[in-house]
Amino acid sequence: MKSLFFATILAYGLILPGLFFACNGNESMSEANSRNVADNQLSDNENYEKATFAGGCFWCMEAPFEKIVGVKSVISGYAGGEKPNPSYDEVSSGQTKYRESVQITFDPEQISYEKLLSIYWMQFDPTDAGGSFYDRGHQYTSAVFYHDAKQKELAEKSKTELAASNRFDKPIVTPIIEFTNFYPAEDYHQDYYKKNPGHYQRYRKGSGRDAFIKKHWGDKKMSSNSKYSKPSDDVLREKLTKLQYYVTQEDGTEPSFNNEYWDNKKEGIYVDVVSGEPLFSSTDKYKSGTGWPSFVRPIDPEFIIEKTDFKLLYPRTEVRSKYGNSHLGHVFEDGPEPTGLRYCINSAALRFIPKEELASQGYGEYLKLFEKIN
């Protein structure tokens, strides 16, 4: 598959010297001098908390967390070293004790530290003690930096549970370390996946990260404590309309502007029509002009699987539900702030639950999504 991927990239003429693999770039002196010791933009809100994780190249660790409800900011930077205000060149030399890391500011009333940990473990190889995929050296090794005793307890518990799951053939080597310091990286590293989406996607694929995640997490089956599952095909054929079956089971696409939810303005959430797992919220819905329901992010990325789709002349990122394995649509990098993403979803893959019916239908926990806007 790797040789096929390289052949595809070469055919499109996308490989440029020095751009494919390295998690690096060039920084101006003004950018270097403008960096601060910490991200203070949200420090006035004493209810927010911070989580600091290392998982290899920070470009690839920043993007997944920025899509999550309750996350207020994600900053790429350097954690765990000694020299004040290190530069990228210094850290990438491997001669410092710093690791490329991300620092997350989050609202614990909207998302828990445990949930952030579960998302964290799914982004890298926690059995690699020498680096992360293509990038080698201490600066690319993984670590959880705990900010207090409670985070330490939760991180150690999460690590133990992951090891007990036997998901990996080798031991989990990611250390749980007390947080000491964090310095934001240079400006050009921040939101790199938005500024340079082409290079970012090629880097993720070429480094082996995407293939690893897909192998170990992409086809994850329903856990024993999950309430969401996919019915048998016989049940689906009886339950779904022809269009719903065509879209979700045969990877079809419904007509634009002639579907149930493209112009729906009611408050509520959208769940998988097959499994019932919660996927999108009206709070993240916007009018894209495409004629399909469009969202800037999912409610919880744990219910979403993204995979490359080559059905057209160019690669796209398909979006599927995790437990129902339903084809939902595609995600594009032309959306509005705060994510810059457009989840273009088929109405036929969704079932809408109005806000006032969330509790009665077993989705009461998602009422919190509407507290800030009412």
Query: Catalytic amino acids?
Result: 57, 344
- 171 by DSSP, 3-state: which? coil
Rounded CA separation 269/305 (Å): 18
Contacts of 135 (CB under 8 A, 6+ apart): 22, 23, 56, 57, 207
Rounded CA separation 188/194 (Å): 11
Strand partners, 131: 136
User: Which tokens in the block code for residue 322?
Assistant: 């995790």
Q: How distant, in Å, are the alpha carbons of 50, 58, 110, 124, 374 from that of 74?
A: 10, 10, 16, 17, 26
Cis preceding-peptide flag for 338 (omega within 30 of 0): yes
- 76 by DSSP, 3-state: which? strand
- 270 by DSSP, 3-state: which? strand
User: Which tokens in the block code for residue 134?
Assistant: 């293509």
Rounded CA separation 56/366 (Å): 32
Of the CA atoms within 13 Å of residue 302, those in its CB half-sphere come to 18
Q: Nearest 5°: CA angle at 221, between 216 and 226? A: 125
